Amino acid sequence: MTRMRPSLMMSLLIAASLCVIAVELHRVSVARQQHESAADSLAQSHRDAERVFELRTKRDVIAWRERPKTDVLAIVNAALVDAGIPADRLQGIGEGVDTAVASPQGAEPVLRRQSLAISLERLTPVQIGRFLERWESAQDQWSSGRLELTHRRDQNESELYDLRLHISAVYLART
């Protein structure tokens, strides 16, 4: 019986060692997955930051033209259709505001900005992205400005948002 004890002890020691190795291998595997996930997240954050910087440097398009006469409602409806969003999601287009753009001191303002607000309701984040993409590609006269999102808190609409998109067009005023 004394001979079995050392071999039993050796077997238990080997089994315990294998268990420790297995646990450590699992921890390494989990750590590797977390590292890869964090690296992917960092890369996505970097791409998002570059996109934000790109959008912040975007300027209003100033054309040698008169006040925009384009039917904004038609452009919005076309963007909604292209994005696969029902037309009943358009809540309305706010009254336009037409203001002078600041000029050098003492100079008469020659540029004007027309601004509007488009209100859409009950949209998912994916629909918002598709609409904004279609809006930007559907026209070249209006620049997107401030974007206001309101999260709907209703039980059946917890993943939906209301969108208010402020747009503007800068144009040369007639002298």
- What's residue 109's pLDDT? 65
Query: pLDDT by residue for the chain (175 residues), tens digit each?
Result: 455 687 888 888 999 999 999 999 999 999 999 999 999 999 999 998 888 878 777 665 555 555 666 688 888 999 999 999 999 999 998 878 888 877 766 666 678 888 999 999 999 999 999 999 998 888 878 888 889 999 888 777 778 999 999 998 888 776 5
How far apart, in Å, are the Cα atoms of 167 and each of 42, 62, 69, 81?
Answer: 32, 14, 14, 19
- What's residue 57's pLDDT? 72
- What's residue 2's pLDDT? 52
CA-to-CA distance for 74 and 128, rounded, in angstroms?
Answer: 18
Q: What is the DSSP string of 107-165?
A: SPP-EEEEEEEEEEEEE-HHHHHHHHHHHHHH-SSPEEEEEEEEE--SGGGTT-EEEEE
The length of the chain, given as a count of residues: 175
For 62-172, give the CATH class: alpha beta
- What's residue 31's pLDDT? 95
**pTM score:** 0.60
Please provide the distance, in angstroms rounded to a whole number, between the alpha carbons at the two ends of the chain. Answer: 112
